[in-house]
A and B are shown apart, each in its own frame.
Chain A
Amino acid sequence: MFRLEYRDVTMNFPAAKGAGTVTAILKVTFSIRDGEVVSLIGPSGCGKSTLLNIGSGLYAASKGQTFVDGERVEGPSAHVAFMLQKDLLLPWRTIRENVMFGMQIQGHSRADCRRRADELLTSFHLAEFAHRYPDQLSGGMRQRVALARTLAVDPTVLLLDEPFSAIDAQTRIVLQRDLARTLTAARKTALLITHDLFEAVTLADRVLVMSPRPGRIIDEIKIEIPDRDDPIKRRRHPNVEQYVERLMELLDIGHSA
């Protein structure tokens, strides 16, 4: 069963100057199975984030359709949650209240929200910070809170747009492991946009490669390395280098420059 499916999705934007339109993505078709984690890589400005916004129902595609759990996406859905490079924590809410945010919007009772938030904070080793405010936490911790907030609404599909690219390299490795474990344990389906080719390979079951604008899917690579729930272990696998080399070739890195 497909959790997330794009069929012939095209997105045109009005051009910044003058008349006409710019095509950001062109006839993108792919699907993600239940519990699968798929990375999406491509040059800057190729429409990766646009693809994600369409999937989350925030913007309507110019042409084509998107499906979540077989249902056509026609607006934000309770089954999809997204997480960006920015943690988007609300500075006036405590850490616990930030984790509760999505659930509260969706109308869950306060007691339910609290219980779920405390569970997540405990599993992310953030319980002692529940009463702190975002300003008092480090970037890595804040991003972990953002992940907790995303998971709190119990989505079936997670859309992750460069979630760790603003985090320092050491913290990033830990966060990647936390994410991989959580996704595997909860059997979540995820689409992960990243610029980090090692991240793309070590976290995913499959990597989709996009072309420069107008973005199309130009290749798909299955990652056949065990231990998807442990990117640190995976990173040491001898085949990782080959996959990364392959992706560099596809993205034309190191040839044109």
Chain B
Amino acid sequence: MSFFTTRNAVVKKGTLISLVLLFASLAMWEWGFQFLGVPRFIVPPASEVVKESVQMWQTNHLLMHTGITAAEVIAGFVLGSLLGAGIGYLLGMSPTAEFALSPYILALQIAPKVAFAPLFILWMGFTIYPKILVAVLIVFFPVLINVLTAIRAIDFDLINLARSFKATRGQIFWNIEFPSSMPQLFAGLRIGSTLAVVGVTVGELVGGNLGLGYLLVIGQGQADTPMVFVSILMLTLIGGVAYLAVVLLEGRVLHYSSSRTRRLS
């Protein structure tokens, strides 16, 4: 293998390897476990999971539950990102505020956010709101920290350049600080998009009778492993779509950077 592999060759070869891996793991799933003597109720073969998902679609309102979970994920992600970014910029612009608030932010960051789920359900009942709130809380931090780090890392000479043209505080923010923070804001959003699914799922597991988390609980109660598998797959799908949406938006916003190749991870 040559050391100097072209991008094109990497894509070609990588795609091929990826596809081979996909079929290998699907085959392993379908026949491998049975061959190794793993019972069907522990790991149901792929075909059974597909059959189960069709059945769940017809009798368990799979689409509705998926839709509800997706809506909660989107709401939690959008609200959490806005809140995290907003507070990140405010703290970034005020070192005093950051200094004063940093112990509390740190404490909240260390606290396991999913542990708040039962509390939120006590407060808000078996509605969609506690689930959204867990997602908001869990998305909030990576976005906040990334924005804050980005603002801290701005080259002070850039700020001075703007100042030398007599820029106002607002002009410095909108012309230098805000656009400078975009790459890191998007790094935070990427993490946030996957964490939102975690928050919502935990919320649904803890209480209520809606969403994929609820189907997980049902599946567990009935020892219906295929149902659990289907729910996990759908949750992964929702997270994947959310992540992809962020990546596509990032590609549009950060179009100016040539060093930025389209990566998915």
Which residues of B (130-183) have their CB < 8 Å from a CB of A? Answer: 155, 157-158, 160-167, 171, 175-176, 179, 182
B257 at the interface (CB under 8 A from A): yes
A56 at the interface (CB under 8 A from B): yes
Q: Is the CB of A78 within 8 A of B256?
A: no
Q: Is the CB of B179 within 8 A of A90?
A: yes
Distance of B183 from chain A, by nearest CB (Å): 10
**Interface range on chain B: under 10, 10 to 19, 20 to 34, or 35 or more?**
20 to 34
Residues of B within 8 A of A102 (CB): 165
CA distance A78 to B164 in the complex (A): 8
CA distance A57 to B161 in the complex (A): 11
A84 at the interface (CB under 8 A from B): yes
Q: Is the CB of B179 within 8 A of A106?
A: no
Q: Is the CB of B166 within 8 A of A92?
A: no
Q: Is the CB of A76 within 8 A of B165?
A: yes
Binary CB contact string for chain A from 75 to 88 against chain B (1 if under 8 A, 0 otherwise):
11110111010101
Selected contact of B157 from candidates A77, A80, A86, A90, CB within 8 Å: A86
A153 at the interface (CB under 8 A from B): yes
Q: Is the CB of B164 within 8 A of A91?
A: no
Distance of A26 from chain B, by nearest CB (Å): 24
Q: Is the CB of A105 within 8 A of B166?
A: yes
B58 at the interface (CB under 8 A from A): no
Residues of B within 8 A of A135 (CB): 256-259
A58 at the interface (CB under 8 A from B): yes
Q: Is the CB of B175 within 8 A of A81?
A: no
Selected contact of A81 from candidates B164, B176, B179, B259, CB within 8 Å: B164
Q: Is the CB of A133 within 8 A of B165?
A: no
Q: Is the CB of A88 within 8 A of B158?
A: yes
Q: Which residue of A lies closest to B253 (CB)?
A: A92
CA distance A120 to B123 in the complex (A): 64
CA distance A57 to B160 in the complex (A): 10
| 13 more CB-based (< 8 A) A-B contacts, given A88-B155, A91-B257, A92-B256 | A56-B164, A57-B164, A58-B160, A58-B163, A77-B166, A80-B164, A90-B158, A91-B256, A101-B165, A105-B175, A133-B258, A135-B257, A135-B258
Can you list 26 residue pairs at the A/B interface with Cβ under 8 Å? A58-B163, A75-B166, A76-B163, A76-B165, A76-B166, A77-B166, A78-B165, A78-B166, A82-B164, A84-B157, A86-B157, A88-B155, A88-B161, A90-B175, A90-B176, A90-B179, A91-B256, A91-B257, A92-B179, A101-B175, A105-B165, A105-B166, A105-B167, A106-B165, A133-B258, A135-B257
Seen from chain B, the residues whose Cβ lies within 8 Å of a Cβ on chain A are 155, 157-158, 160-167, 171, 175-176, 179, 182, 256-259
